[in-house]
A and B are shown apart, each in its own frame.
Chain A
């Protein structure tokens, strides 16, 4: 038996040669193993267990927590070791190069209260609780078992299974409440000073078994302890496909974190074929940034479909980027995106029809944890942006799912940052509340420009029809006096119902605003032509989002064709993850940046000198033209207190032409303002600040999604403010709103450009012209 003859760090007791048949293995493997099938088992299985294991359906942790809980694997998933635990150890803590842990007691991270509770509540794990520190300690043999298992992962599951059974290491604890594999790591990395990490996500191994079912045998690539360095990090020393043709599938799914300043020789060496990447954010302290890889590596011993595999390899290249990923051509390798284990036959179908659009297919099949890891990749340990939907909302972006309010509202939250202030998008609860009476929604209009009927251009209302569980959209155009009903499954009855409510709403709104309202002047439009019609039964939420985008004037204006729904779902999710809805480098770039690629997207870096201005289509709303008058022939005007530090864009006023000056000003100054505003909008949750809308509307072609989390308003406010403001100045109208919002001291004003500042200076001090 090749598996047991491997040199393992930890030698289980001699009885381990007795392998319980069928445990965690597909029966067809027993035939190859030979000795495994006939030997008497030390373990008594219940008939149900036995049947399940022999049926080839390995237990899935989420579906069969009891079955999974009876393995060591669960425990491995649960317990991790941290530096925080070291100080409570009674003996020095070491992790030998051989992978042995040589200590007596450990306790789990205290940050896992739920896990502790789970474990203790079961009463079957002999964890010691220190009454003073209220910490949990594990017995040595648990730790040994754990260490040895992790140190030599390829120790077959049978051996460990029997060993555990014999030694009473029975942990019938349900799988900890983790949303995705590696959730523990996520929490774990709050302590990036952690010295010892066991970097095998054991649920992954369970997933191996589950994902590959009868095909998978064992993750042989992690066979020896050489794959683990003394720090406990998993490092794949060799290309993982060099294990001979006998393995059909090998799922490489490793999560790890790399503190950026850590010298990991194996990490930077491409020869190791390390399937990962790391994330550097502007040379700054995003050490906690994590890297993930989820891909299925398929070794095809029969070499039956070399063209397909080659094609797939290209897919991999795109998927993983040209970075450290290293792939041998012989034997031919193909890598598929991680399959969703819940989709029966996903693996087979992907094998038959290799994904044409890898990203799309990945996402279509992606388990929710992958989607979440996208968000984690983006945001790391930083505060969770409020617009991100919950897990349930994320799932809604997957193809073939119903769309819920969380997803739509998240999208609207993002969208609202990019539409001009005269367009307002209500969230999905507006219409439901409106059904209960106008009073319920009267306060919702606080953030609008008043009076609404003259100052607003458009109000967009997503509609949820509960009885039909359906989404539709209404756009109220105040300029043209048109109410448009957009429904991807248009029904005249629904249209009449909704429009009746909207008529009443408009009348009530007019009453609230105390302005006259003439219903006759309004047109109510609704037909199958106002919205593309859906073909499926689950996609109306996607059409809703597409319609809202179009109504709000997001470029490019695009009618969503039913066949494009999957890609639209993908795009909408990407939008939500990034918090931007258009991309200066193009959508492909944004996608690649999210999917494990080399560098952070440049458009989240506000101050890059090589920032490229991408011309943006005209704004859909009338925005005041900026400074059509020629530049003043003044070379020395410097707003007092502005930032004296020369920036790459800075040059003297005499040297630049009008247009150049205009661009420079916008690029250099308004961008900074946006950064600050963005920061403030975020910090103060003042998304409705009129100035923010105003500037966003101006800026949205240029500074989309310019986020700077560490920007200090106090520190930089002097850059574009001048004391002694003159209230009422035309240029300074928007300063008032900023001041109202509490963002600007009363004696300071804000300029959107140096030119504006100089104009103001000239105006206020005419003598300086001479």
Chain B
């Protein structure tokens, strides 16, 4: 219960950060290992753009990165609206390399 208040305080700078983001856009943080990438994305933009940009930045071949948000798998054709991201919190996508296994 006492943890709630600091949370709110911490959120305030986050909203200030968001004010730097152009109107109508939401800042997305993509976390891949140690690296983070920030994008300002419209809620209606398909994630494909984000994915491709990230893949370019880390020089990964297309389709090899997997993105998820709060445990929810993200698809290239989805949008922020579609996944109903909570925009009052910073939106953090986590990226991972493809997992493959056999033996």
Q: Tell me the A residues contacting B by CB distance below 8 Å.
A: 384, 386, 390, 392, 402-406, 409, 413, 426-430, 432-433, 440-441, 443-444, 446-447, 464-466, 468-471, 489, 534, 536-541, 684-686
Contacts and interface: CB of A to CB of B under 8 A. Distances in A.
A469 B71 CA distance: 21
A524 B14 CA distance: 42
Contacts of A444: 70-71
* Interface majority SS (helix, strand, loop, mixed), chain B: loop
B63 A541 contact: no
B101 interface: yes
Interface in B27-69: 63, 66, 68
Contacts of B15: none
A405 B99 contact: yes
Contacts of B4: none
B101 A429 contact: no
B82 A537 contact: no
Interface residues of B, number: 20
Contacts of A540: 101-103
B73 A446 contact: no
Contacts of B101: 402-404, 464-465, 468-471, 540-541
> Which of the listed residues A384, A386, A409, A432 has the most CB atoms from chain B within 10 Å of its own CB?
A386
B72 to A, nearest CB: 8
Given A541-B101, A684-B84, A413 B73 contact: yes
B78 A432 contact: no
Contacts of A405: 66, 98-100
A489 B96 CA distance: 25
A429 B77 contact: no
Contact of A430 (B71, B75, B83): B71
A427 B84 contact: no
B65 to A, nearest CB: 11
Given A406-B66, A684-B84, 13 more contacts: A403-B101, A404-B100, A428-B99, A429-B71, A429-B99, A433-B94, A465-B101, A466-B99, A469-B100, A469-B101, A470-B102, A470-B103, A686-B84
7 contacts: A390-B63, A429-B66, A429-B94, A429-B99, A471-B101, A534-B103, A685-B82
B70 A429 contact: no
B68 A427 contact: yes
Contacts of B83: 685
Contacts of A471: 101
Nearest to A383: B77
B96 to A, nearest CB: 6
A404 B73 contact: no
A446 B69 CA distance: 12
Nearest to A400: B102
Given A402-B101, A432-B96, A386 B75 contact: yes
B75 to A, nearest CB: 6
Nearest to A390: B63
Given A427-B73, A443-B70, A469 B63 contact: no
Contact of A427 (B71, B77, B103): B71
Nearest to A433: B94
Contact of A403 (B68, B73, B96, B102): B102
- Which 3 A/B pairs are nearest by Cβ-Cβ distance? A444-B71, A405-B99, A538-B102
Given A433-B94, A440-B94, A685-B84, A403 B100 contact: yes
A538 B103 CA distance: 6
B71 A404 contact: no
A443 B99 contact: no
A402 B102 CA distance: 5
> Which of the listed residues A427, A429, A441, A538 has the most CB atoms from chain B within 10 Å of its own CB?
A429
> Which of the listed residues B66, B73, B75, B83 has the most CB atoms from chain A within 10 Å of its own CB?
B73
A443 B71 CA distance: 8
Nearest to A469: B101
Contacts of B94: 429, 433, 440
Contacts of B100: 402-405, 469
Contacts of A539: 102
